[in-house]
């Protein structure tokens, strides 16, 4: 795996959960502005441009400057770097996942990423009325949040079954031949599973 791999740069996100949140928002909407990210993530008093510059220098995102209407100013529009989804980068992420060299960073990245998804759901629920939530439940099915506590001896069996389940989900995506970027931006639900000893 090349030291210049974008996927390897991804691990630098593990040191900052906010940067993971910003990166994921950019994945969800190509051509998003800093102001839109601030609004979506409810950020106040954050030096978002510092984080955006870090992401751009890591080649995880790209930007395009466009003139602001009725002004001499330019505004940057941020998108995910499509090279992140190139075959060699998929292989790089697979190699990183198998390696113990970056184990701590990978675990932190996944935990922060899960934390971001949960925080985003919290924000969405806070902004809805009971009536809106009820309507969503009627339309999409009941809201389910489950916590299951396991003995450590059970983890290998459970982990194997979860691997089978995720392979089933990935096969659905492969059969549909969906573009990875579109898949992320159009996502309507998320499954979060962590098997870490407490």
- In-domain check, residue 79: yes
What separation in angstroms does the CA of 9 have from each of 57, 99, 189? Answer: 10, 15, 27
Residue 85: its pLDDT value, please? 80
Mean of pLDDT values over 37-51: 86
Q: How confident is the model at residue 191 (pLDDT cuts 50, 70, 90)?
A: low
Does the pLDDT at position 134 exceed 70?
yes
Residue 31: its pLDDT value, please? 93
- In-domain check, residue 139: no
CATH code at position 21: 1.10.10.10
What separation in angstroms does the CA of 128 have from each of 25, 135, 141? Answer: 20, 11, 17
82 and 177 assigned to the same domain? no
Q: How confident is the model at residue 132 (pLDDT cuts 50, 70, 90)?
A: confident
- In-domain check, residue 15: yes
Q: Which domain holds residue 110?
A: 6-129
95 and 186 assigned to the same domain? no
State pTM to two decimals.
Answer: 0.65
51 and 17 assigned to the same domain? yes
Does the pLDDT at position 198 exceed 60?
no
Does the pLDDT at position 172 exceed 70?
yes
Residue ending a domain, choose from 77, 94, 129: 129
Does the pLDDT at position 48 exceed 60?
yes
125 and 38 assigned to the same domain? yes
Specify whether the CB–CB gap between 58 and 20 falls below 8 A.
no
Residue ending a domain, choose from 95, 129, 163: 129
Nearest Cα residue to 125 out of 134, 112, 138, 116: 134
Does the pLDDT at position 79 exceed 90?
yes
11 and 97 assigned to the same domain? yes
Residue 188: its pLDDT value, please? 60
Q: How confident is the model at residue 77 (pLDDT cuts 50, 70, 90)?
A: very high
- In-domain check, residue 141: no
125 and 150 assigned to the same domain? no
56 and 123 assigned to the same domain? yes
Q: How confident is the model at residue 189 (pLDDT cuts 50, 70, 90)?
A: low
- In-domain check, residue 138: no
- In-domain check, residue 1: no
- In-domain check, residue 135: no
Rg (CA), the chain: 19
125 and 154 assigned to the same domain? no
Does the pLDDT at position 56 exceed 90?
yes
Mean of pLDDT values over 83-105: 81
124 and 160 assigned to the same domain? no
Distance CA 33, CA 26 (A): 9
112 and 19 assigned to the same domain? yes
Mean pLDDT of the chain: 81
Does the pLDDT at position 141 exceed 80?
no
Q: How many domains does the chain have?
A: 2
16 and 112 assigned to the same domain? yes
72 and 161 assigned to the same domain? no
Residue ending a domain, choose from 96, 129, 162: 129
């Amino acid at each position: 795996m090349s030291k210049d791999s974008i996927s390897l740069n991804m691990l630098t996100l593990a040191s900052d959960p906010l940067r993971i949140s910003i990166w994921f928002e950019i994945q969800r909407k190509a051509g998003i502005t800093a102001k839109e990210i601030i609004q979506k993530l409810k950020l106040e008093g954050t030096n978002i441009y510092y984080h955006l510059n870090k992401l751009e220098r890591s080649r995880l995102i790209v930007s395009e400057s466009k003139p602001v209407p009725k002004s001499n100013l330019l505004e940057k529009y941020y998108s995910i770097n499509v090279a992140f989804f190139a075959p060699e980068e998929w292989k790089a992420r697979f190699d990183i996942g198998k390696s113990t060299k970056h184990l701590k960073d990978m675990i932190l990245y996944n935990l922060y990423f899960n934390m971001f998804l949960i925080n985003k759901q919290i924000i969405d629920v806070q902004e809805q009325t009971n009536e809106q939530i009820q309507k969503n439940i009627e339309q999409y099915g009941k809201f389910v949040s489950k916590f299951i506590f396991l003995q450590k001896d059970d983890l290998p069996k459970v982990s194997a079954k979860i691997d089978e389940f995720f392979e089933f989900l990935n096969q659905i995506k492969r059969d549909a031949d969906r573009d990875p970027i579109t898949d992320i931006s159009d996502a309507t639900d998320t499954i979060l599973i962590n098997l870490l000893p407490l």
